[in-house]
Structure 1
Amino acid sequence: MDTLPLNKVVRLLEPGPLVLVTTAHHGRNNIMTMGFHMMVQHDPPLIAFVLGPWDYSYKALVETKECVIAIPGVDLMEKAVDIGNCSGAEVDKFKEFKLDASDAENVKAPLIKQCLANIECRVVNTDLTKKYNLFVVEAVKAWVNSERSEQRIFHHKGDGTFSVDGRTKDLKARMTKWKEITK
């Protein structure tokens, strides 16, 4: 085995789906690209992610305590990368990238119509925000777009490369200890 520099460890553990996070602040919607996130628990569904003062969306999240986590399909991969390469302080990203905002039910941040799924979230814990820029949010409503022809998600590998979901193997019958989450 070869050694891997410690600053590259993220490339081994982070291949979760790349997501888009929307916020609404002072009448302005914004979108940011995010790769650093994780599920914390199932019920209630808690998600943790890193968002810091270097992100234009930070102030909106801190002040409103609301966001939407949108999951783009592989057909939006290039747009998602491009969204991450500009600032909402200078660009109306919905307009620039021709994405449609849709009203959420429980938060002011918008859904993104073109995405596979949208999760409305409220911040429930900021204990690690000052030290690690880590927010914990609770999913308060989830939406899926099952009518999209492209249903594959993609994963950021931490170095500008991405992997795309392919075939799915169903092992639900083997999940005997966790049957309640396989329904």
Structure 2
Amino acid sequence: MIEIDPLMGLRMINDGSVSLLSTRREGKTNVSTVSWQMPLSQDPPMLGISLTPSCLSNELLRESGEFVLSIPDASLIAETHYCGTHRGDSEDKVRSMQFRTMRARKVIPLLVTNCIGHLECAVRDVYPFGDRLFYASRVVAALVEEDYFDNGWNENAQTLHHLGGDRYKTGGGILDAKIWPLPQQMPNLPPLF
């Protein structure tokens, strides 16, 4: 695992992949699934997450002001789904899912080392939106498994994308965009049909 610039780390969530949210207070750790997260700012590097107010992660996060987003790959689909459908106040999901953890570099919550990337975050602001709380947070450190990341996820990274209910998909192939010529610069081609 290597540390990368927090700004570059924001690319870990550009694809809309699901993350595992790690929160911790007074030795109590919870891991829950988050599928509503997004980059907010490059300078400073910031992201936003949306949580249900009644969940344990929200309680721990409001008290500690710090969290880690760990990015699972497709091999963790069962664990990811479980963490999103079971409450942490009645069980220790880290133990139940047999997650390996390690200390973060700059925040108190733990990294779920089974995952391929990690964003360590400090909460800046909290906003109520409908039935959710939105956390605007600064990325203070970013770590990634280098076999999966080349200035962004590479072909080895099979990130998970939640489609609703118990359905997920993985990221598809990677396409490199090219700047197309302006219409007046295109050659005269015969019609296709």
Provide the TM-score with structure 2 as the length reference. 0.76
CA distance in 2, matches of 1:65, 1:130: 19
Q: Tell me which residue corresponds to 1:54.
A: 54
Gaps of 5+ in 1: 1-14, 175-183
Cα drift, residue 99 of structure 1: 0.6
Aligned to 1:105, the other structure's residue is in SS state: coil
- Residue in structure 2 matching 1:166, options 160, 169, 172: 172
Q: Name the aligned partner's letter for residue 30 of structure 1.
A: N
CA distance in 1, matches of 2:48, 2:58: 14
CA distance in 2, matches of 1:133, 1:40: 15
Percent sequence identity over aligned pairs: 25
Cα drift, residue 105 of structure 1: 1.1
CA distance in 2, matches of 1:158, 1:130: 20
Is this contact kept in 2: 1:23–1:57, CA < 8 A?
Answer: yes
- Residue in structure 2 matching 1:156, options 159, 162, 180: 162
Post-superposition Cα deviations, 1:42-80, rounded to whole Å, max 9, x if no partner, equal 222211111132211111110110000111001111110
Aligned to 1:84, the other structure's residue is in SS state: helix
CA RMSD of superposed structures (Å): 2.1
Q: Name the aligned partner's letter for residue 161 of structure 2.
A: H
Gaps of 5+ in 2: 1-14, 149-154, 180-193
CA pair 27-130 structure 1, distance change in 2 beyond 3 A: farther
CA distance in 2, matches of 1:40, 1:27: 30
CA pair 157-65 structure 1, distance change in 2 beyond 3 A: same
Post-superposition Cα deviations, 1:20-60, rounded to whole Å, max 9, x if no partner, equal 00011121111001111111122222111111322111111
Find out whether 1:77 has 2:73 as its counterpart: no
Q: Tell me which residue corresponds to 1:107.
A: 107
Is this contact kept in 2: 1:74–1:150, CA < 8 A?
Answer: no
Aligned to 1:75, the other structure's residue is in SS state: helix
Deviates more, 1:31-40 or 1:149-158: 149-158
Larger radius of gyration: 2
Higher strand share: 2
CA distance in 2, matches of 1:84, 1:18: 10
CA distance in 1, matches of 2:76, 2:65: 27
